[in-house]
């Protein structure tokens, strides 16, 4: 059972994040994205702090020597969330998710440019193939670029693609922070910082009714629970085992998109997603194989 624990936590995290996205999309036409981000961040603190306290790290685990690093992570993360949530309001869940699958591919490129990591030829090849998949997903929206100012599907698709860039920058910043910071500190300070940054959009907020308020709170709790399961998955299994399971999120996006909104992924989304997922899994499996062949240090 312990062998399956990490993968089980990872799949549970994708399901929780799917619940979060359903809430975001339900609120689309009534609540501004900045307000949604605030509730997503603020109420995510409830389960996250409960987890840190349960681990006995409420005091030691939250110590930090890099408040500036956490602030940068929060600003970049909020930008990614605002763009993604705004995109989800305009395109289907499956479309938005498939486009943001570009983030791990961009992270590979940024890790080479900003962190000086060695990226082998097979990784660059897989990244290139993955971006072909992203273009396939984007292709139905590219012909609508002349109507960007109308805020339709083309705008939403480009917002999701832009969010992928900021997601990748956020991941690079997380890698920087992990050299000195504990996981609890990174997660908690991200939620606090994101909520504070999102407060800057308060002048454009609306007063939600009871139904929307419940959705906002649930969106935050789902996001926090997803973060907990994600953290636990990497605690109980190697990254090479857990990472490919991120793509189960597409299954939840298709199911919830059809169930709640009557959405069904187009052929371009199915083909593009297959290409992106294949390239991502190829990177992970190849790196794992190389790691297994390395002599112990």
Domain boundaries, the chain: 2-293
**Nearest Cα residue to 84 out of 194, 184, 172:** 194
Supply φ then ψ for residue 61, to 5 degrees.
-70, -15
* 165 contact partners, CB below 8 Å, separation of at least 6: 103, 106
pTM of the model: 0.83
One digit per residue, the tens of pLDDT, for the chain of length 297 reads: 466 787 888 889 899 999 999 999 999 889 998 999 999 999 999 998 888 888 777 777 678 888 888 899 899 989 999 999 989 888 888 888 888 888 878 877 777 777 676 767 777 888 888 888 888 888 877 666 555 555 577 888 889 999 999 988 888 888 788 778 877 788 888 889 999 999 999 999 999 999 999 999 999 999 989 888 887 787 777 665 676 677 888 889 999 999 998 988 888 888 988 888 888 777 767 666 655 444 443
Are 282 and 120 in contact by the 8 Å Cβ rule? The answer is no
> Distance (Å, rounded) from C-alpha 285 to C-alpha 243?
10
């Amino acid at each position: 059972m312990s062998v399956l624990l990490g993968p089980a936590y990872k799949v549970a995290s994708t399901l929780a994040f799917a619940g979060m996205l359903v809430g975001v999309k339900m609120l689309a036409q009534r609540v501004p994205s900045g307000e949604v981000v605030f509730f997503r961040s603020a109420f995510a603190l409830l389960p996250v702090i409960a987890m840190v306290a349960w681990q006995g790290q409420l005091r030691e685990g939250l110590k930090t020597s890099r408040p500036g690093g956490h602030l940068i992570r929060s600003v970049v993360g909020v930008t990614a969330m605002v763009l993604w949530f705004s995109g989800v309001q305009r395109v289907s869940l499956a479309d938005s998710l498939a486009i943001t699958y570009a983030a791990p591919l961009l992270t590979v490129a940024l890790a080479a440019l900003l962190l000086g990591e060695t990226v082998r030829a097979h990784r660059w090849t897989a990244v290139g193939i993955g971006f072909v998949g992203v273009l396939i997903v984007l292709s139905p929206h590219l012909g609508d670029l002349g109507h960007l100012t109308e805020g339709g599907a083309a705008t939403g698709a480009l917002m999701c693609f832009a969010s992928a860039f900021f997601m990748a920058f956020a991941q690079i910043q997380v890698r920087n922070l992990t050299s000195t910071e504990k996981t609890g500190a990174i997660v908690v300070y991200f939620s606090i910082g994101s909520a504070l940054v999102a407060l800057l959009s308060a002048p454009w907020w609306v007063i939600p009714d009871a139904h929307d308020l419940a959705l906002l709170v649930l969106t935050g709790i789902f996001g926090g629970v997803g973060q907990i399961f994600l953290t636990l998955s990497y605690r109980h299994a190697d990254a090479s085992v857990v990472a490919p399971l991120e793509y189960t999120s597409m299954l939840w996006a298709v199911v919830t998109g059809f169930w709640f909104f009557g959405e069904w992924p187009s052929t371009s989304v199915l083909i593009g997603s297959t290409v992106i997922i294949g390239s991502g899994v190829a990177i992970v499996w190849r790196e794992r194989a190389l790691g297994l062949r390395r002599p112990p240090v």
